[in-house]
């Protein structure tokens, strides 16, 4: 794999320290953030190219295994995971190129989840409505699906002395702040129309208080307990009356 380019390691502002083929970005002000953005876009492009090459090899191995008529279950999984990695970093590259800045991943109150389903999974859960989990992300390609609220519409039933609950439909996105700057809702509208982020949420990740930071998240799941998240800043504001 190519070494980090001079454009990245010789920046006059933000520090971008090469670590093998990766970089560590240190930014301390808006000018450095802009410079760091350029370096991250370049790194992300090389990452995507590398992962596409890995996917091509995995697909070739799967095709060979099928021709040989040997068991393909393991190869199918390798291809699926490789495709997921390519999709994850392709969306991240697009977000960076469109001007969204990566920020640390904090606890987020989710307000919108992108789904391709017509209705949520209808599994019954033991207990009342709060036992039904929120809508899970599907890690869709950009442009696919639609945004719904994270909490499904739930039906309860009583079976003897037990209560069971299941999701029966999606609910519309409900932004929890009603007195909000128009730029925040405009940022939400743009992000929802773009259909790039798997989730859209607000910080702090609790009930509305103070000034919200609107963020988009891109998700990648490789196993039951292994998940990666990239968080991008969509919009925020500061009201000096709150300072």
Number of domains in the chain: 2
Q: Are residues 229 and 119 part of one domain? A: yes
pLDDT band at 33 (very low <50, low <70, confident <90, very high): confident
pLDDT band at 2 (very low <50, low <70, confident <90, very high): very low
More confident residue, 158 or 239: 158
Beta bridge partners of 106: none
More confident residue, 225 or 169: 169
Residue 38 lies in a domain: yes
pLDDT of 12 higher than 60 = no
Residue 20 lies in a domain: yes
Q: Among residues 54, 70, 99, which one ends one of the domains?
A: 99
Residue 1 lies in a domain: no
Beta bridge partners of 126: 164
Q: Among residues 99, 121, 144, which one ends one of the domains?
A: 99
DSSP string, the chain: -PPPPHHHHT-SSSEEEEETTEEEEE--SHHHHHHHHHHHHHHHHHHHHHHHHHHHHHHHHHHHHHHHT---HHHHHHHHHHHHHHHHHHHHHHHHHTTPEEE-----EEEEEEE--SS-----EESSGGGSPPPPP--PPTT-SEEE-SSPEEEEEEETTEEEEEEEE------S-SS--HHHHHHHHHHHHHT--SEEEEESSSSS-S--EEEEEEEEE-SSS-EEEEEEEEEE---GGG-
Per-residue model confidence (pLDDT) at position 74: 95
Q: Are residues 213 and 110 part of one domain? A: yes
Q: Are residues 149 and 74 part of one domain? A: no
Q: Are residues 157 and 75 part of one domain? A: no
Per-residue model confidence (pLDDT) at position 223: 76
Residue 194 lies in a domain: yes
pLDDT band at 31 (very low <50, low <70, confident <90, very high): confident
Q: Are residues 229 and 139 part of one domain? A: yes
Q: Are residues 20 and 41 part of one domain? A: yes
Report the mean per-residue pLDDT for the chain: 86
Q: Are residues 109 and 93 part of one domain? A: no
pLDDT band at 226 (very low <50, low <70, confident <90, very high): confident
Q: Are residues 172 and 87 part of one domain? A: no
Residue 209 lies in a domain: yes
CB 153 within 8 A of CB 118: no
pLDDT band at 242 (very low <50, low <70, confident <90, very high): low
Domain span including residue 176: 105-242
pLDDT band at 191 (very low <50, low <70, confident <90, very high): very high
Q: Per residue in 75-123, pLDDT tens?
A: 999 999 999 999 999 999 999 999 998 888 888 999 999 999 999 998 9
Residue percentage of the chain with pLDDT more than 70: 83
Beta bridge partners of 233: 101, 215
pLDDT band at 11 (very low <50, low <70, confident <90, very high): very low
Q: Per residue in 129-139, pLDDT tens?
A: 999 999 999 99
pTM of full prediction above 0.85: no
More confident residue, 105 or 204: 105
DSSP string, 70-130: ---HHHHHHHHHHHHHHHHHHHHHHHHHTTPEEE-----EEEEEEE--SS-----EESSGG
- Residues 110, 121: Cα–Cα separation, whole Å: 19
- Residues 230, 168: Cα–Cα separation, whole Å: 30
Q: Are residues 48 and 128 part of one domain? A: no
């Amino acid at each position: 794999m190519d070494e980090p380019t001079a454009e990245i390691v010789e920046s006059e502002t933000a520090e971008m320290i090469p670590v093998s083929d990766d970089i560590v970005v240190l930014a301390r002000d808006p000018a450095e953030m802009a410079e760091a953005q350029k370096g991250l876009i370049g790194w992300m492009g090389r990452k995507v190219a590398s992962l596409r090459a890995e996917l091509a090899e995995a697909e070739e191995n799967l095709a060979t295994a099928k021709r040989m008529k040997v068991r393909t279950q393991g190869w199918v999984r390798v291809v699926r995971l490789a495709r997921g990695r390519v999709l994850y970093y392709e969306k991240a590259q697009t977000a960076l190129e469109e001007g969204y800045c990566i920020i640390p991943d904090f606890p987020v109150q989710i307000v919108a989840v992108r789904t391709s389903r017509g209705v949520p999974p209808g599994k019954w859960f033991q207990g009342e409505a709060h036992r039904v989990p929120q809508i899970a992300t599907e890690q869709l390609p950009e442009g696919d699906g639609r945004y719904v609220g994270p909490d499904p519409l739930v039906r309860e039933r009583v079976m003897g002395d037990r209560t069971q609950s299941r999701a029966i439909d999606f609910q519309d996105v409900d932004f929890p702040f009603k007195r909000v700057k128009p730029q925040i809702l405009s940022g939400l509208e743009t992000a929802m129309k773009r259909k790039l982020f798997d989730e859209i949420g607000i910080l702090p990740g609790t009930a509305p208080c103070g000034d919200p930071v609107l963020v988009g998240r891109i998700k990648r799941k490789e196993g039951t307990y292994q998940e990666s998240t990239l968080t991008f800043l969509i919009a925020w504001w500061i009201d000096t009356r709150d300072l």
